[in-house]
Structure 1
Amino acid sequence: MKQNIEEIQKEIVSEFSELTDWEEKFQYLIELGEELPKFPDEKRTEEYLVPGCQSRVWVAPKLTEGRLEFDADSDTALTKGLIAILIRVFSGQSPEDIANASLGFIEEVGLAKFLSISRRNGLFSMVQKLKGYAEKV
Structure 2
Amino acid sequence: MSTEAFEDIVETFEFLDDWEERYRHLIELGKAMPAMDPALQTPASKVEGCASQVWIIPRVSEGRFDFIGDSDAVIVRGLIAVVHALYSGLPVAQVAAVDAQAELGRLSLNDHLSSQRSNGLRAMVARIREQAATAAAG
Whether 1:118 and 2:116 are equivalent positions in the alignment is: yes
Instruction: Report the RMSD for the aligned CA atoms in angstroms.
Output: 1.4
The runs of 5 or more residues in structure 1 that have no matched partner are none
2:127 corresponding residue in structure 1: 129
Residues in 1 aligned to 2:54 and 2:28: alpha-carbon distance in whole angstroms: 17
Whether 1:81 and 2:78 are equivalent positions in the alignment is: yes
Q: CA deviation at 1:64?
A: 0.7
Aligned with 1:44 (options 41, 44, 52): 41
Residues in 1 aligned to 2:85 and 2:33: alpha-carbon distance in whole angstroms: 10
How many residues end up aligned between the 2 structures?
134
Partner of 2:44: helix, strand, or coil? helix
Q: CA deviation at 1:114?
A: 0.8
2:65 corresponding residue in structure 1: 68
Deviating more after overlay: 26-35 vs 84-93: 84-93
2:106 corresponding residue in structure 1: 108
Q: Note if contact 2:95-2:129 (Cα within 8 Å) is conserved in structure 1.
A: yes
Q: CA deviation at 1:12?
A: 2.3
The runs of 5 or more residues in structure 2 that have no matched partner are none
Deviations 1:36-82 (A, max 9, x none): 11202221001111110000000111111111221110000000100
Query: Which amino acid is 2:61 matched to?
Result: T
Partner of 2:50: helix, strand, or coil? coil
Partner of 1:73: helix, strand, or coil? strand
Structure 1 segments, 4+ long, off by >3 Å, are 6-10
Partner of 1:48: helix, strand, or coil? coil
Q: Calculate the TM-score normalised by the size of structure 1.
A: 0.91
Residues in 1 aligned to 2:36 and 2:6: alpha-carbon distance in whole angstroms: 24
Q: How does 1:13-52 map to 2 (within 5 A)?
A: 13-52=10-49
Q: CA deviation at 1:7?
A: 4.4
Q: Note if contact 2:3-2:87 (Cα within 8 Å) is conserved in structure 1.
A: no
Q: Calculate the TM-score normalised by the size of structure 2.
A: 0.91
